[in-house]
Structure 1
Amino acid sequence: MTGWIDAHHHLWDLGAVHYPWLMAKGVTRFFGNPAPIQRDYLLGGFRTEAAAEGVIASVHIQVGAEDGLAEARWVQSVADANPDWPMAQVVFCDLTAPDLSEQLDRFQSLPTVRGVRQIVGRAPGEDAQTGTNALLDDPRFLSGLQEAGQRGLSFDLQLIPELMEKTARVLAQAPDTPVALCHAGSPHDRSAEGLTAWGKELKHLSRLLHVTCKLSGLGMFEHNWTVASVRPIVETCLAQFGADRVMFGSNFPVDKLYSDYRTLAQAYRGLVPAEMHSAVFRGTADRFYNLEAPQ
């Protein structure tokens, strides 16, 4: 097949944009200790790792900058400086903001912007502190989702399985907003019972045809993952969504904490049936994010 698209990765320049979580020392996050990645991660480093596995284009996902517009403008400058690397971006925008329309106007002045992400859930412990789960009960959030779709923007959804049924009820009211489910819905309980429960909850989202699933971030809740341990997750996503609604994302450099790019890519290459490769590793992301990656 032709080159891959990595539909979920991050970049950061700590001298150009302020990321509070990357500056906080000694703070363990839901995905572990971020200390090894609390340094610049630039496009050149990412390309070296990803291109070696056949990646030719990518989608940058917002990653907790203090100022979402400053981050988006910096990503745009990176894309402008590297025209040989097609890169779209998903920005952070508070969909409940009173000046949402004005904010989206500013974001959409940047040609790489394809969608927005506002995290609904990361992990039970952190969610209890951040209160982001409350977005699902806020009518402004639904209204913002609907406006995003009316503008031709997608929404990247990060949440935990316990929120899927409630979230599906919200998303059903925004059918014109394409949704990308980050990290396969964050199955944080990797016991057999936990994965069974996740698969059951996932059906609430997979039955919504405007929801697409990302195979990404699976190392965040299982640092010593193996091909065998993530196999049921990959198989369940493919079975429920179908290859045309599943796409690959590395979640680098966060998942770089647990794996090198080659190990990650080879694992997915083996887990996804060969007849699904063209969709999962390229076609779905190309279509969803309108990347127009080179052949």
Structure 2
Amino acid sequence: MHNGRAGGVPAGTRTMAEQDAWLSQMREEVIEPDLPIIDAHHHMWDRPPESYQLPELLADTGSGHDIRATIFVQCNAMYRADGPEVMRPVGETEYVNGVAAASASGTYGARRLCAGIVGFADLRLGAGVGPVLDAHIAAGGGRFRGIRQQAQHDPVLGSLSRLSPPPGLLADAAFRRGFAALSPRGLSFDAWLYFTQLHELADLAACFPDTLIILNHVGAPLGIGPYAGRRHAVFQEWAQGMRVLSRLPNLCVKLGGLGMPSYGFGFHERTVPARSPELAAAWRPYVETCIDLFGVERCLFESNFPVDRQSCAYRTLWNAFKRIAAGCTSAEKALLFAGSAARIYRLPPV
């Protein structure tokens, strides 16, 4: 594995502009360019000097694959600057719905960016979260689909998120009172947590069988800190947790997020970006295990951009996923790359 520096920048600390220069060193031909895709998970933000907004999203989704629609997932961007604190996250939905409306105008082509929106509300408000959820729905212009409240917390690492979710969030009584407000409104829950917490998610899902839960990023089999150099042991523990989750019919899983540095593959440290065959080889065991356990009807591919662009370009990422799915039938591919996302997030068929 080649470690090094790109443009004089320490590996793993590149700005997005420096990532652009790094990623430009390698450009692959698109595999199966006519396969329709719904990108089930991406973000947008403007955090100077970093910006990933409509122009950057258009560039990535227009880089060669047949991206028909995308799902935006909360990232604490563009909150309202004033008003009640609990209502400020609604600003993110207002912002994203504006992007979605611009895309839906057809001005930027046929693809429908941010066709589904997943926002944030603090479910620890209990029954008091209802007005916040209703405000999101109203602001979403028919596109609001659910809530993500990050829960990732490891007993050794703590939380790698700048939001620092507390331990035991999913079992918190107030959180669960708020969680109970989702299903009556037809809202789903996107779950972002570590592999050491999969049992917590299983308990939540069992207690709320009528609420659809979408596990993000294949359940986060970490590969750093105390988990570095223990890939086989982590895989075994992760797979057992995923096996338990797969028995719960209200759980689905997103296939992606594997480009995040916390997964320990080290692709972000390369002097030259990895090509899709190498990415596919590293990621295949996790993706295939998820598909085997949950079935193609409950699995959906995601880019997790711009986070995963730390490891590869958008075009390369989807090539890697297509290589992993090469043995699937045409019907199975249709579900994995678009059909399952359309059903789960209630989008028109593509």
TM-score, normalization by structure 1: 0.86
CA RMSD of aligned residues (A): 1.9
Structure 1 residue 126 displacement after superposition: 4.1
Once residues 195 and 130 of structure 2 are traced to their aligned partners in structure 1, the CA distance between those partners, rounded to angstroms, is: 30
Return 5+ residue gaps in structure 1 as ranges. 15-21, 24-37
Q: Which runs of 5+ in 2 are unaligned?
A: 1-33, 80-87, 224-229, 268-277
- What is the CA deviation profile of residues 69-105 of structure 1, one whole-angstrom value per residue up to 9, with x for unaligned ones? 1111100111112214431110011111152011011
Matched, 1:206 2:246: yes
What letter corresponds to residue 97 of structure 2 in structure 1?
Answer: Q
SS at match of 1:121: coil
From 155, 159, 180, the counterpart of 2:193: 159
CA separation of 1:236 and 1:11: change in aligned 2, threshold 3 A: same
Q: Is the 8 A contact 1:142 1:173 kept in 2?
A: no
Q: Is 1:54 matched with 2:66?
A: yes
Q: Secondary structure at the match of 2:39?
A: strand
Contact between 2:150 and 2:165, CA under 8 Å: does it hold in 1? no
User: CA offset at residue 171 of structure 1?
Assistant: 1.5
The residue type equivalent to 1:280 in the other structure is L
Q: Tell me the equivalent position of 2:116.
A: 88
Separation of aligned partners in 2, 1:227 and 1:46:
23
Alignment of 1:233-252 (within 5 A): 233-252=286-305
SS at 2:168's partner residue? helix
Instruction: Determine what percentage of the aligned residue pairs are the same residue.
Output: 32
Q: CA offsets per residue over residues 205-243 of structure 1, 9 Å max, x none?
A: 111111010011111123327221111101100011000
What is the distance in 2 between the residues matched to 1:208 and 1:277?
Answer: 23
What amino acid maps onto 1:223 in structure 2?
G
TM-score, length basis structure 2: 0.73
Q: Deviations over 1:247-290 (max 9, x none)?
A: 01000001011100111101100101331210110000000001
Aligned to 2:147: 116
SS in 2 for 1:177: coil
Q: Structure 1: how far apart are the matches of 2:67 and 2:149?
A: 26
Paired AA for residue 100 in structure 1: V
Over residues 158-217 of structure 1, what are the superposed CA-to-partner deviations in whole Å (9 max), with x where a residue is unaligned? 111111112211211111111110000011136112111110111221111110100111
How far the C-alpha of 1:122 sits from its partner, in A, is 5.7
Residues paired across the two proteins, number? 272
Question: Which residue in the other structure is 2:39 paired with?
Answer: 6
Greater mean alpha carbon deviation, residues 121-130 or residues 86-95: 121-130
Matches within 5 A, 1:1-295: 3-12=36-45, 14=46, 22=47, 38-51=49-62, 52-65=64-77, 67-83=88-104, 84=106, 85-86=111-112, 87-98=115-126, 99-109=128-138, 110=140, 111-121=142-152, 125-127=157-159, 130-189=164-223, 191-220=231-260, 221=263, 222-224=265-267, 226-272=279-325, 273-275=327-329, 276-293=332-349, 295=350
Residue 95 to residue 42, structure 1, CA distance change in 2 (3 Å): same
- Contact 1:5 1:58 survives alignment (8 Å): yes
SS in 1 for 2:51: coil
Provide the rounded CA distance (Å) in 1 between the counterparts of 2:165 and 2:337.
34
